[in-house]
Amino acid sequence: MQLDLTGRVAIVTGASRGIGRAIAEALAASGAAVVVNYRGSEAAAAEVVETITAKGGKALAVQADVADAASHEALLKATTEAFGRVDILVNNAGITRDNLLLRMKESEVDDVLQTNLRGVMLLTKAVLRPMMKNKWGRVITISSVIGLTGNAGQANYAAAKAGLIGFSKSVAQEMASRGITANAICPGFIETDMTRNAMSEELINKALDRIPLARMGQPAEIANAVVFLASDAAGYITGQTLAVDGGMTMY
């Protein structure tokens, strides 16, 4: 199976920590040159770049706010200036602003949709043009099991993540003739700052009860799926939604 990404150039959004960091490190370990996008955490992004380059990989940290379409062209320009092309986009950056819908503020709706859905759509649009020139591309979008099942207290997040699934399938249909595939990954309950900060011990145990594999997932387990979908081994897979969730959504 061909998982070697040597010669490929990837942008990973929100790659300074958590799942994005694991994805950036795994793509680089498979040979891709990686743009480690970050919004505010310059030092953390620099550390990811150092980790990758210390192992002989290629990486560059580039600041851009995914929610701000005005910064997308600069992200793309920095990528092509450094590495000459862009082959793989991993839409990973995401935020939560949890609240019950009846209490949810307009800003909590707007912030989540802006970053998790609108930003992804517009960044993907910008990155598709250079991919079309190369007649090869991979758009891998990190949705969530919450986009499949919904979740009390996360109507904004669920709507954005469900939206990403339809978005990814639409990109797959529009780009199939251009050699570009688009797939979505739905992580389940993954051990990162996002889950640690947002959940009490009691909530974590309740969530574990619903996972057949009976444990939280690790960021590297999402990264493994991304590497596969980015590789030539997945060349015949497009428009799909892959849950990496310990079996949480199998029933």
Residues that bind ligand NAD (CB under 6 A): 13-14, 16-20, 37, 39, 41, 65-67, 92-95, 115, 119, 142, 144, 187, 189-190, 192-195
The nearest distance, CB 87 to ligand NAD, in angstroms, is 20
Nearer to ligand NAD, 66 or 172 (CB): 66
Nearer to ligand NAD, 99 or 134 (CB): 99
The nearest distance, CB 28 to ligand NAD, in angstroms, is 17
Nearer to ligand NAD, 195 or 231 (CB): 195
CA pseudo-torsion sign 147, 151, 154, 155: positive
d(CA 94, CA 163): 13
The nearest distance, CB 213 to ligand NAD, in angstroms, is 14
- Whether 38 sits among the annotated catalytic residues: the reply is no
Please answer whether residues 148 and 162 qualify as being in contact, where contact means their C-beta atoms are separated by less than 8 angstroms: yes
The nearest distance, CB 92 to ligand NAD, in angstroms, is 5
Nearer to ligand NAD, 65 or 108 (CB): 65
| Interacting residues of 114 by C-beta distance below 8 A, sequence separation 6+ | 67
What are the C-alpha distances in Å from 40 to residues 74, 81, 85, 143, 231?
Answer: 16, 22, 25, 22, 30
Catalytic residue of the set 38, 157, 236, 251: 157
Structure tokens at 2: 């061909």
Q: What H or E segment, with its residue span, contains residue 219?
A: helix 219-230
Any idea which residues carry the catalytic annotation?
157
